A and B are shown apart, each in its own frame.
Chain A
Amino acid sequence: DQQVKQNSPSLSVQEGRISILNCDYTNSMFDYFLWYKKYPAEGPTFLISISSIKDKNEDGRFTVFLNKSAKHLSLHIVPSQPGDSAVYFCAAVRRIKIIFGKGTRLHILP
């Protein structure tokens, strides 16, 4: 029973364009959501988070949107850069419990 789903295993985007990574969840009781970025042979790096009471949070090139009625969040990266090529995980938190999605591999094409 996957509570946090990233349905696209991979995504390819042209450099300079917008990358949109999607995440769906099933439990409406999550308190907040996070996005992490992971390069091979390294630990994940925290990118951005959003509280369940917000619908948008922005940090530089990264914006996360939360649609509570659809139980859907998305990470927008604008403009996409070569260094953005990595695996992106979304995660949902309820009190002390954290659930990660399986990740989406983003390829930025030159």
Chain B
Amino acid sequence: NAGVTQTPKFQVLKTGQSMTLQCAQDMNHNSMYWYRQDPGMGLRLIYYSASEGTTDKGEVPNGYNVSRLNKREFSLRLESAAPSQTSVYFCASSASSSYNEQFFGPGTRLTVL
């Protein structure tokens, strides 16, 4: 039982490049989330998916797109990376759309040069 997995663990991009962060959960959870954490800051919600087939914007959605591919997978895409998107990205899932008892992945550390 792996819980929430994220790939890649580390990534370096040049300004303007695109990439997709992958997230998968094996707990049969309905809801999934993407957060970013900047140094010395709390987590900020980028996008969330309350259930398969739905996605909604969080606090900081600009510059990102998401896809809820199926119940297990929720990907985050940066179409044209900017240095301001340098951050650690966390994916999470929960059984319901309540934030109670979210399970987090280990994070992806992204640097945009």
Write out, one digit per residue, whether chain B residues 73-92 have a CB within 8 A of any chain A CB (1) or not (0).
Answer: 00000000000000000101
Give 15 A-B pairs besides A43-B104, A43-B105, A97-B45 with Cβ atoms closer than 8 angstroms: A41-B107, A42-B107, A43-B92, A44-B43, A44-B90, A45-B104, A46-B100, A46-B101, A96-B48, A96-B50, A96-B56, A96-B97, A99-B59, A100-B43, A102-B40
B94 vs chain A, min Cβ distance (A): 9
Q: Does A25 contact B (CB under 8 A)?
A: no
Taking Cβ atoms with an 8 Å cutoff, the residues of A that contact B are 4, 32, 34, 41-46, 49, 89, 91, 93, 96-103
- Would A91 and B106 be within 8 Å (CB), given that A44-B90, A96-B56 are in contact? no
User: Does residue B44 face the partner (Cβ distance < 8 Å to A)?
Assistant: yes
Query: Quick check: is B2 within 8 A (CB to CB) of the other chain?
Result: no
Interface SS, A side? strand
Q: Give A92 to B48 CA distance when docked, in angstroms.
A: 16
CB neighbours (8 Å) of B92 from chain A are 43
- Inter-chain CA distance A16–B15, complex, in Å, is 49
Decide: A100 and B90 in contact? CB cutoff 8 A. Answer: no
Q: Which of chain A's residues have a CB closer than 8 A to the CB of B44?
A: 100
Q: Which residues of B contact A97 (CB under 8 A)?
A: 45, 58-59
The 6 closest A-B CB pairs, nearest first, are A43-B104, A100-B42, A100-B43, A102-B42, A44-B104, A46-B101
A34, B100: Cβ atoms closer than 8 Å: yes
Q: Which residues of A contact B43 (CB under 8 A)?
A: 44, 89, 91, 100
Whose C-beta in chain A lies nearest to the C-beta of B92? A43
Instruction: Offer 16 A-B interface pairs, CB within 8 angstroms, sorted by A.
Output: A43-B4, A43-B90, A43-B92, A44-B104, A46-B101, A89-B42, A91-B42, A91-B43, A93-B99, A96-B56, A96-B97, A97-B58, A97-B59, A99-B42, A101-B42, A102-B41
Q: Is B7 an interface residue (CB 8 A)?
A: no
